[in-house]
Amino acid sequence: MAKKETKVEKVEETRKEPSYIHKVNVKVEGADWTKALDQAFAKKQKTVKVDGFRAGKVPRDIFEKKFGKEALFLDAADMSVQVAYIKAMTDSKLIPVTQPEVDIKSIDENGVEFVFTITTKPEVVVKNYKGLNIKPEKVKVTAEEVNHELGHLLERYTELVVKEEGKVENGDIAVIDFEGFKDGVAFDGGKGENYSLEIGSNTFIPGFEEQVIGMATGEEKDLNVTFPEEYGAADLAGQAVVFKVKVNEIKQKVARELDEEFFEDLGMEGINSEETLKEQIKESIKAQKEAEAENKYVDALLEAIAKNVEVDVPQTMVDEETDRLVGRFEEQMKMQGISLDLYYQFTQSNEEALRSQMEKEAYNNVLYRLMLEQIMTEEKIEVTKEEALKEAEELANKYQMDKAEFLQQFGGLDMVQYDLEVRKTIELLKELNK
């Protein structure tokens, strides 16, 4: 029997579908389908159990008689879909902007017919992106801001001095041993040794820190407290407990002075006086404000241009961007030691609520990307591979990474090239809209 070729044909698009949605049919049959069925049987044969046969030794005809030929169809389709997709993309010459969806239109012993739903870039019309008179706000740094930051700096370098005499006061650091008991029985997570507790930080449950005030070094005391009703552990929520506490040491915060010893501790080159320190703080605040002002300026510029854009943003692009934002949020939570499930408990929300919250940002991100790409095309903005390589090397050096490692994490040289093109486009828009 002659081998049948895998067939690809574009399905007639319905009138209801936007122009960027394409349905592509792919049929896998003949020798290709026979091979896929053979592979599917080999997979099933390893695990299927049939009385009278050892595992992995069931003949094909016995398997099909007991389970039917249909038992192989879905596995065979799974083994065929990747090849079918490559064939669909090659022959249709479509360039997808999101992961295509795939459905099985029909499947039997003669073959399988896939239907790929492919989303391509929609038509984008930017009616105006020039002369919008968008300007960045001017940045100022006041003396009050400098003094406020100086106060924070002095606080960060506050010294802790052991209190040889006296008792725990608000603001002190009490180094304590503690153990919690409910109905006379110690509970999990309620014990600590030599724990440094800043009184007034509200780190512990209400009433705990207040009762430590007035204790002396070496003193032991029973503290009666009640866990909040909304406490995470259900067996402790709203329950009255007793903490046995011993104060091992009391440390007092001692404010620093702007003296030679303080400047030595700072270890900042060229900073040796109040005047030079304030000037450095002023420059730091200014740089931060300028970065914030720049971000606001670019956002305002893009928002203004977006009002002049006509485009039907594909929902699949918004969904994928929402996935990315949720994934980024999950990573941020992990860095704080919080899982998404725990976040949902704390906020009394769920995944649907989180996605809904991020969908507007996702939509704007996609809209701005499509808009910038269209302007990029109209203005003929391009970045060469050589420019991208140079940028990759500079960024790798900046982050103290190997260039290959940096490119892998960034998404490859093409992503560096695209990022540079976007930045060039934004710089041009600034010039065109002053």
CB 96 within 8 A of CB 118: yes
Q: Do β-strands 309-311 and 124-126 pair in parallel, antiparallel, or remain unpaired? A: antiparallel
Q: What are phi and psi of 311, to 5 degrees?
A: -160, 145
What is the reported pLDDT for 14?
42
Q: What pLDDT was estimated at residue 120?
A: 97
Sheet containing strand 21-29, edge to edge, reads 7-10, 21-29, 111-119, 101-108
Q: Could you give the CA distance from residue 233 to residue 376 in angstroms, rounded to a whole number?
A: 55
pLDDT at 13: 44
DSSP 286-328: HHHHHHHHHHHHHHHHHHHHHTTEEE---HHHHHHHHHHHHHH
Q: Where does 102-174 have alpha helices with state H?
A: 143-156
Q: Is the dihedral of CA 147, 151, 157, 162 positive or negative?
A: positive
* DSSP structural state of residue 57: -
Tokens for 315, please give them: 């929902």
* pLDDT score of 260: 86
Residue (of 122, 355, 157) closest to 268 by Cα position = 157
- Cα 61 → chain centroid: 51
Q: What is the pLDDT along the chain (434 residues), one digit of tens a residue?
A: 334 444 444 444 444 689 999 999 999 999 999 999 999 999 999 888 888 887 788 999 999 999 999 999 999 999 999 999 999 999 999 999 999 999 999 999 999 999 999 999 999 999 999 999 898 999 999 999 999 999 999 988 888 889 988 999 999 999 999 999 999 999 988 899 999 999 999 888 999 999 999 999 999 999 999 999 888 788 898 999 999 999 999 999 888 888 888 888 888 888 999 999 999 999 999 999 999 999 999 999 999 999 999 999 999 999 999 999 999 999 999 999 889 998 998 888 999 999 999 999 999 999 999 999 999 999 999 999 999 999 999 999 999 999 999 999 999 999 999 999 999 999 999 999 98
Q: Which of 223, 233, 238 is nearest to 174 (CA)?
A: 223
